Structure formats: C-alpha cells, structure tokens
C-alpha cells in the first residue's frame, strides 16, 4: 500500500510529529511505500532520510488561519498528490487535517484523520469553539475515517456530531519500548523530578515551580526538558525564587529515554491535553506520574495506583502528592512498577501500529 502521512509541522518535537515519524518508519519496515508531507525540518526528518522515506515540504503550510497561504498550500498539496498517487492518505493535526481531507476528496483518495486533540476542546473562546466545530463537521463529511487517540476525544466527537460513530475508532497512542537498562531506579537521593514539555500554553511549568518552592526544604532536583516561547519567563521565575541550584533546564533533547532513566518521578501539569506521549514514555521507564486530570490523561494514569491525578488549579493537592512521593521510595517503586505493567498491556507501539493499520485496511475496503 502506498501511504501518505501528512502533518502540519515537522520542525518541532511534538507528539503528533513523533507519532508520524514512528508510523512512517514501521509501516515501511512492514513493506509499505510511505511518503511524509509537512513543513519544516528537524532531527525527525533526518531520521526519515536515514530510512529512505521520501519527505516533501509544503512551503505555504502554516498553523494559523491564513486564507491566502492556505489556498496556496492546498494547491501545492493537490499537485503533489497527483505526482505521488497514494492509495491512502493519513492526516494529522488541525490544518493538515482540513487541507488533507479537501485534497483527498478532490483526488478521490481515501483519507483518515487522526485527532491528537480537537481544536474545539478546552482553552479556546466560545466563539472560536463554534467556528472550529463547524469546520470539523464539514471536514468530517469528507473523511472516510477518524482515529481519536483517547476515549475522551472519541466522546467529544460523538457528542458534537463531528462524524458518524461508525467511522470513528479509538487507537490509544503507543511508543516503542526501550532497553531494560533504561528503567528508573527509585532509590536515588535526592530524587529527580522530570517534566518533558514545551514551554508554551497549555503546559504549566510555573505552577510546578511555585509549588516546589514551597517544599524546597525537602531533598529534590527538577529537570525541565523542552523549549518554547515561555522558556525565558520560567528561567526568570527560578532565579527570583532562588532555585537555580535545584532546577535545571535541558532544552529540547534527543536522549529523553536516558534522562527519564535517571529520574525518580515524572510530572506533567497542563491546562488541557489529548493523550500525551510524554506520560507513556514515563510509564515505559517505570516512573510514577503526577499529572493534571485533563483530557485523556485519566486513561493513562490510574489515580493512587500508577501515580496521582491533580485537579486543575489545585496547588494544595499537587504539593501533597509531591511530598508523598518524594518522602516514600517504596511508594515510588510500587507505582512505577504498576505504570510499567500498564504500558506493556495497553500502550505499546506494536499494539497501536496494528490497530492503526487495521483501520486503514477497513477504510480501503469500504
């Protein structure tokens, strides 16, 4: 099968981009002819080149709404699809999702949209939410199938009548396993807390830093992995709070599994989420997880079993959960081990790949 994987950006190390890279590489390994289409370059596109997977850039593809450039991007995509002539197109992220389904319909190419989180979810104004819902409903009529990465997003689609339930499929995110040596060792002092996330809304590094400042008397170190527009603001906060000896900024890194293996606790504080790969990677590394109870996070973290779910804006709850895990090595070990078991049962890459390809086949057969 010749498959196009189309995503809005490949110049950032986000969940959708990593997902596309992994899908492309493993589908090719299974004998399929895979092409990736996007805009921008990064280490992810270098990996595609190493695997001899063609990568085409749409120069006018932008994230925000821009009617002129969106039209040019659509025309570029049209021209490219006529050249590639794929059997199926898989589209990811909002802008690529809309343009891809328009072009797929025009060229009679079966198209599957993977919703890594809906554009009309939390964090947008009511006016924008109504606009985005209307756009997604229109695009839904041009979709042969839609994959949601969480039950949460599946129910959002059904309740908002985005597409018929018969064309929807939940396929939880999954990540490839790592070597056994890349597992966390819970009995290290001081415990290392890690958060892997871009310094941009909806991630909330500020709340985590402020809460940790209130328990600075406890032994801990915080490692923040990622970059983004709010990086300097967080640097400044750490300086103001006198935490420079306890909080370390690592920037965007390629060796996240190695860094997680040295950690004892993973935290993700957010305003909203889809089904974050970073939490799955932490579970894979046998780390207990403290995370905001938003979006599909509750499908990953079993509260009081593999970690703790924090209600949005509840700083007291976050402080209590951090104290519990920082003070109790046995609890860290117990929760981390249960999280690793849950990863093995529900969130492996092989499981996700098989379910995704089965859905691709179903769409092709209809």
> In whole angstroms, what is the distance from residue 264 CA to residue 190 CA?
9
pTM of the model: 0.90
**Residue 65 near residue 128 (C-beta atoms within 8 A):** no
Q: Please state, in angstroms and rounded to a whole number, the distance separating the CA atoms of residues 85 and 88.
A: 9
pLDDT band of 197, cuts 50, 70, 90? very high
Confidence of residue 64 (pLDDT cuts 50, 70, 90): confident
pLDDT in tens, 72-103: 999 999 999 999 999 999 999 989 999 999 99
Q: What is the pLDDT of residue 294?
A: 94
Strand ranges across the sheet with 192-196: 247-251, 221-225, 192-196, 265-268, 289-292, 307-310
Q: What is the pLDDT of residue 158?
A: 96
Label residue 109 by pLDDT band (50, 70, 90): very high
In the prediction, which pLDDT does 13 show?
A: 80
Of 47-61, 120-134, 165-179, 352-366, which range is least confident?
A: 120-134
At 245 the pLDDT is: 97
pLDDT at 347 over 90: yes
CA triple 287-215-332, angle to 5 deg = 20
* Mean pLDDT, rounded, for 202-231: 97
Chain mean pLDDT for the chain: 95
CATH architecture for the domain at 2-175+348-365: 3-Layer(aba) Sandwich (3.40)
Domain with CATH 3.40.50.2000 in the chain: 2-175+348-365, 192-346
Structure tokens at 235: 């640097």
- The residues facing 175 across adjacent strands are 348
**pLDDT one-digit tens code per residue, 284-323:** 999 999 999 999 999 999 999 999 999 998 999 999 999 9
Query: Would you identify the CATH topology of the domain 192-346?
Result: Rossmann fold (3.40.50)
- Kindly provide the b/e burial profile for residues 183-197, where b requires at least 16 CB atoms within 10 angstroms of the residue's own CB: bbebeeeebbbbbbb
182: confidence class by pLDDT, cuts 50, 70, 90 = confident
Six-digit token string for 237: 């906060």
Q: Quick one: pLDDT at residue 120?
A: 83
Whether residue 62 is predicted with pLDDT greater than 80 in this model: the reply is yes
- What value does the mean pLDDT take over residues 158-179? 95
Res 187 pLDDT > 80: no
Q: For the chain, what percent of residues have pLDDT higher than 90?
A: 86
Q: What is the pLDDT of residue 129?
A: 86
Residue pair 229/301 in contact (Cβ under 8 Å)? The answer is no
Convert the pLDDT of each residue in 255-271 to its tens digit.
999 999 999 999 999 99
At 153 the pLDDT is: 94
- The whole-angstrom distance between residue 68's C-alpha and the CA centroid of its chain comes to 29
């Amino acid at each position: 099968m010749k498959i196009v994987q189309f995503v809005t950006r490949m110049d950032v190390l986000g969940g959708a981009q990593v997902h596309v890279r992994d899908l492309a590489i493993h589908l090719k390994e299974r004998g399929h002819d895979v092409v990736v289409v996007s805009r921008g370059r990064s280490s992810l596109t270098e990996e595609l080149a190493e695997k001899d997977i063609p990568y085409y850039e749409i120069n006018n593809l932008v994230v925000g709404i821009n009617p002129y450039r969106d039209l040019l991007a659509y025309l570029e995509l049209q021209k490219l699809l006529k050249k590639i002539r794929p059997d199926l197109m898989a589209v990811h992220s909002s802008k690529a999702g809309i343009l891809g389904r328009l072009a797929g319909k025009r060229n009679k190419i079966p198209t599957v949209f993977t919703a890594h989180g809906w554009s009309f979810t939390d964090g947008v104004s009511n006016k924008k939410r109504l606009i985005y819902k209307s756009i997604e409903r229109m695009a839904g009529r041009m979709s042969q199938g839609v994959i949601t990465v969480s039950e949460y997003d599946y129910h959002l689609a059904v309740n908002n009548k985005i597409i018929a339930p018969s064309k929807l499929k939940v396929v939880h995110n999954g990540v490839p396993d790592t070597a056994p040596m890349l597992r966390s060792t819970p009995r290290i002092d001081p415990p290392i807390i890690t958060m892997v996330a871009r310094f941009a809304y909806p991630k909330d590094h500020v709340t985590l830093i402020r809460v940790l400042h209130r328990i600075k008397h406890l032994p801990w170190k915080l490692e923040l992995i990622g970059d983004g527009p709010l990086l300097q603001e967080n640097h400044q906060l750490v300086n103001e709070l006198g935490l420079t000896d306890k909080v370390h900024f690592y920037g965007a890194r390629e060796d996240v599994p190695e860094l997680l293996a040295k950690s004892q606790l993973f935290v993700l504080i957010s305003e909203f989420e889809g089904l974050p790969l970073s939490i799955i990677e932490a579970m894979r590394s046998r780390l207990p997880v403290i995370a905001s109870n938003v979006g599909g996070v509750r499908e990953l973290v079993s509260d009081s079993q593999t970690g703790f779910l924090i209600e949005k804006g509840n700083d007291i709850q976050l402080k209590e959960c951090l104290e519990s895990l920082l003070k109790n090595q046995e609890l860290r070990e117990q929760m981390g081990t249960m999280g690793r078991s849950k990863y093995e049962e529900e969130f492996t890459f092989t499981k996700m790949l098989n379910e995704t390809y089965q859905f691709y086949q179903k769409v092709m057969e209809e």
